[in-house]
Amino acid sequence: MRIASIMLCATVAVSCGAMEPASVQIMGGLSYLTHDDSREIVDDGTDSISNEYGYYACLGFSAPQKAIIGYPWLEFPATRHEGNESRIDSVGVLYTERAPLSELFYLGLGIGSFYNDYRITTGGAVERDDKWTIGGKALVGIGSAGRGFFGEVSYQYSGKIGGTESNSVNGALGIRF
């Protein structure tokens, strides 16, 4: 009986040790608004990189097993585009799956919701609006599907607010641990 108990505990310990723990990812990079009118709102006329691009950041948490098409992630992406005394912000909550294509490349799809907030200044008048919208993202990545450094390019559909689209193409570098 004692040997059976020890063998059972050893089997459970070896099985648990073989399971890969849930992962965390942190990434950051640049964001480019896809709609011309949206870019004109934050265009201050200078020739700087911050005039053309905004900021992108994302925090994600993954489960250690495969889901429907790939590995599941709960993600919190955020973009900010500002200039010309105006800004367009989007913060989302997404369920995203990443499916490996090879040892190095993967594709992903996500669906969720975005909170969009903008402040537009035109001719001294300030217009503000905010709301939640349904959104999603499609992505392609390079790097290990497991731990380590990676790079991603994504299209983020975060909707429209007050006639202004907040959709963007994002490029980011990150780390998973």
Task: Write out pLDDT tens, residues 77-92.
Answer: 999 999 888 999 999 9
In which residue are the tokens 């949206």 written? 38
Specify whether the CB–CB gap between 116 and 89 falls below 8 A.
yes
φ/ψ bin of 85: left (φ > 0), alpha (ψ from -120 to 50), beta (otherwise): left
36-52 b/e (C-beta count within 10 Å ≥ 16 → b): eebbebbbeeeeeeebb
In the predicted model, is pLDDT for residue 9 greater than 70? Answer: no
Q: Looking at per-residue confidence, does 91 or 21 come out higher?
A: 91
Q: pLDDT band for position 6 (50/70/90)?
A: very low
Per-residue model confidence (pLDDT) at position 161: 86
Token representation of residue 17: 């040790």
Residue 145 has pLDDT above 90, yes or no: no
CATH number for the region 20-176 comes to 2.40.160.20
Q: For residue range 37-65, what is the model confidence (pLDDT) as tens digits? A: 898 888 877 766 666 799 999 999 998 88
Comparing 18 with 148, the larger pLDDT belongs to 148
Among residues 104, 98, 161, the alpha carbon closest in space to that of 135 is found at 161
Closest CA to 64 of 10, 13, 18, 11: 18
- 12 has a pLDDT exceeding 70: no
Is the pLDDT score of 10 beyond 80?
no
Element (H, E) at 5: helix 2-18
What is the longest distance spanned by two Cα atoms in the chain?
Answer: 84
Q: List pLDDT tens digits, range 97-125.
A: 999 999 899 999 999 999 999 999 888 88
Backbone angles phi, psi at 80, to 5 degrees: -140, 125
pTM of the predicted protein model: 0.82
